[in-house]
Amino acid sequence: MSTPPTANNPQQSPILIMAKRAALMRAQGRDVIDLTLGEPDFNAPPHVLVAAHAALSGRLTYSPSNGIEPLRHAIRMRMRMKDIRNLDYADDQVTVGCGAKQIIYNAFQATLKSGDEVIVPAPYWASYPAMIKMCGARPLIVSTTKEEGFRLTAEHLDAAFRLAKSPKWVVLNAPGNPSGSLYSRKQLLAIAEVLRRYPGVMVLSDDIYSEIRYTNDPYQTLAAVAPDLRDRILIVDGVSKVYAMTGWRVGWGCGPTPLITAISSVQSQNCTQTSTLSQLAAVAALTGSQALVKERNAIYRQRRDSALNVLGACEAIDVECPEGAFYLLPRIRTIKDDQAFALILLEAGVATVPGSAFGMPGHLRLSFATDESILIAGCERLVQKIKASI
């Protein structure tokens, strides 16, 4: 019997694979602490749930592929806010999809062809290279170092451009998943300087964690720092992380009209739109009280610090303090194979994601979007296992 065709060889997310294994073991009654998923353990804000309930009494019809107008409007108002981005987008420069993930995929699908390249700094969110490959293109991975705060530097970018044959996109993600690093205005200005020398190349500015930050400095995004490049930048964001609305599947893209139109066209031919109910809930999230965002960030920060206390006390662990998002990326000095070690850890009762999935062999990714006492217990198990294996 012939094997079924696997178009473009799509790969399962390594994050979801580890999460699934952990869930299976728990279903079998095993005591496993799951630190795999980048999924807040909170619920959507109460006023969002109220709005969603109210919306159920109306007819939930198809919406336009680029989203309902009130949501596009709410996104534009939010992008315009001084402390958010201070950027003005016209209505046809905004599109809504089934999460930021689908916006990114649709953007790549609309613009990439075989032989094209996308410059992706490591550590990277595991889905970027997978999506790029599914669109027939090649991820050009650029390594960054701890000393550089795991950020893409202008020098790295320039070197990558000189290596590339057909570069189409550069990926910027801040706060980064899994690094948690932010870019300063100065760093982005230097990156912009390089980008000006390569006019045909687009920039994916994945700002999905922009409102989960632990510094008081204003958020810096390339489109605001280098307005002359705005026609080449796609900003993506969504409700999943900041409002703990992962399952509602609402994300958006803001960028130049032709690209936004192309993204909406791809969307119109695959799932038409994201759920109308979810879009109405997202309007409530964006326009209602933002008090919970601050409160939850304070909780994430406390968890981050508690986890760092446990991990930092172990000599075999080298770990940085993230400026945003909710991940830790410890390097385990004593291991050779992070994938094998993640499986050993799983057997010991703590589920993590091997750093190789993010272009960071020798590391593990731990999500601290989980209850503090569980998180601390998970970190303690990790430390015990490392000590036992030295």
Ligand X SMILES: Cc1ncc(COP(=O)(O)O)c(C=O)c1O
Footprint on this chain of ligand X (rule: CB under 6 A): 38, 99-101, 125, 173, 177, 206, 208, 238, 240, 246, 251
CB 249, min distance to ligand X, A: 7
Nearer to ligand X, 177 or 279 (CB): 177
Distance CA 390, CA 169 (A): 43
Nearer to ligand X, 174 or 226 (CB): 174
CB 173, min distance to ligand X, A: 5
Distance CA 385, CA 347 (A): 10
C-beta nearest to ligand X: residue: 99
Nearer to ligand X, 111 or 335 (CB): 111
Nearer to ligand X, 171 or 195 (CB): 171
CB 306, min distance to ligand X, A: 22
CB 278, min distance to ligand X, A: 11
Q: Are 99 and 240 in contact (CB under 8 A)?
A: yes
> What are the contacts of 12-19 at 24+ separation with CB within 8 A?
13/126, 13/127, 13/130, 14/126, 14/353, 14/354, 14/356, 14/357, 15/126, 15/353, 15/357, 15/365, 18/342, 18/346, 18/351, 18/352, 18/353, 18/354, 19/351
CB 56, min distance to ligand X, A: 23
CB 126, min distance to ligand X, A: 9
Q: Are 79 and 254 in contact (CB under 8 A)?
A: yes
Angle 138-119-215 from CA coordinates, rounded to 5°: 140
